[in-house]
Amino acid sequence: MKIKLLAIFILLSTVQVLLPCQAPLQCESFDLQIQAGVSPITWTARQAFSVLNCVGFTDPIVNIFKMPNFRALFGIPFIVGAQVGYAYSTNMRVYGECNYSQANQKNNTLFTSTNPLIIPAQNVHLSFKKYRLVDAYIGWRYYFDRICDDISLFLGGKVGLVHHFSTQLTSLVVSAQGVPATDLLPASPTVHLFNANTAISGGFNIGIDWGFCDCWSFVVTGEVVANCGPKSNSNIVLAVISPFTASHVLLGPIQTELRFPVTAGIRYTF
């Protein structure tokens, strides 16, 4: 009997050590969080980069190449943001969040026509300004009990809106072997590669909340966020009709934008 009681005691002691030992949140408390990191982006279901009214083609709309993916045009965006949260239990929290993201143009944005009917093949070089967006969400997170009084894992989701700012196209240069490069863009008015648009956005997140004192936590979060892509400018009027002998550039839509924010932040509970 004594051996059985000793075995039960050892088992319970082991379970107590291994299991989480503290509630992760202070019930009915508010908090403020600031965060920063990177937010890689990919575009899916990209359509064609085309020109209109090419001489010598039966179809007036000629596809030059498929619209490049985000990473071919821009660097990795940075993201900064803030949250205001409320813990309505020791494990569940709702929050409001807003973020700003920005990416710079890559240095080499040179693309070659893939249409075999375009002979010789044309090189298209795009120059544009920064890619920028803001988003705002209402979210919910579940925090698992803290391990060793400090670390809590959490899972959550959020839904809201994203606003893409317009992206100004400053130059569109076309060249071919033996042919001088030609800038096809007019000097004015301002031409946009993407027009401004607002879309519904939502995603899921997972992370770690490390409480390093009574009111402060260090938070690392990874997310997957989806929304409609930026609004492509479907009618860019050209100032010069050589060497494509084209009057317009037509950009097909980008149907889905996937973002993968990874941030580190500080959360203060009061």
Q: In the predicted model, is pLDDT for residue 117 greater than 80?
A: no
CB 114 within 8 A of CB 64: yes
Q: What is the pLDDT averaged over residues 194-212?
A: 96
Domains of the chain (ranges; CATH) run 2-269 (2.40.160.20)
What is the C-alpha to C-alpha distance for residues 155 and 24, in angstroms, rounded to an integer? 13
Q: In the predicted model, is pLDDT for residue 183 greater than 80?
A: no
What is the predicted pLDDT for the residue at 171?
82
Higher pLDDT, 6 or 131: 131
Nearest CA to 207 among 154, 140, 141, 260? 154
Average confidence score pLDDT of the chain:
86
What is the predicted pLDDT for the residue at 91?
95
Q: Is the C-alpha dihedral spanning 33, 39, 44, 49 positive or negative?
A: positive
Give 224-262 pLDDT, tens digit per residue.
999 999 999 888 877 655 555 677 888 889 999 999 999
Tell me if the pTM is above 0.95: no
